[in-house]
Amino acid sequence: MGKSSRVKVRLVTALFVCMFGSSSFGFDDGDFQFWSTASASFKVTDNWGGKFEEEFRFGDDASQLYYQHSDLGFVYRGLADWLDVGLNFRLVFEKNSAGQWKQENRPHLNATFKGKLNGVSVSNRSRFEYRDREDKKDVWRYRNKLTVKLPIELTELKLKPYIADEIFVDFEGAGVNRNRFYAGLSAPISKRLDGGLYYLRQSSKSAGTWKDINALGIQLKIHF
């Protein structure tokens, strides 16, 4: 084989590697993921509080970082003991199907109703968010998350079990297009630091087809 022929073969091989060997972020149905969240909450006044949160998500069997967000918000607790109202801004970076990082600006308004029933802590959070997306049409979305915390502590670590379910409603005609189910444990690590571990199953609909992911998540929360 002549030199020019070998060069052509190498060029063709490189082209195939670029076309078919690059990472794809359209994860398989049932993909295993790892989510990591750290947050810091602080008191502003007797009725006002603030919170900053960072989250990272790894997909493709927890091998590829594909999502990151930073979220800053303030919550007002002065209306009633059973109601918190908050306003947040979330900056999201997520890889699209071509493996390119895209930005989303996401302000969101939250109202959380909370109380206890026979010692069981129950909260229901309604969220309205505006998704200003870099490569897609801007949309409004509603999310509702119901959380139930059991009134028990497991082992000497004081592990507190909880379950939660969250639905996502797209206002642009797609309707309910995502559901998340959580089952987890939270525990105090120190006076100002809490930790958590949870399992998440997420079902999402795209182009009329539902796909699932299973995720293991960890949380660290510091309080000032």
Strands (E), the chain: 31-43, 48-59, 64-80, 83-95, 101-117, 120-133, 139-149, 160-170, 175-188, 193-206, 209-223
Listed residue (156, 144, 153) closest to 108, CA to CA:
144
Average pLDDT over residues 119-145: 96
Euclidean distance between CA atoms 89 and 82, whole angstroms: 24
pTM: 0.86
pLDDT digits (tens, 9 = 90+) for 163-213: 999 999 999 877 899 999 999 999 999 999 999 999 999 999 988 899 999
Q: What structural domains does the chain harbor?
A: 3-223 (2.40.160.40)
Percentage of residues of the chain with pLDDT beyond 70: 88
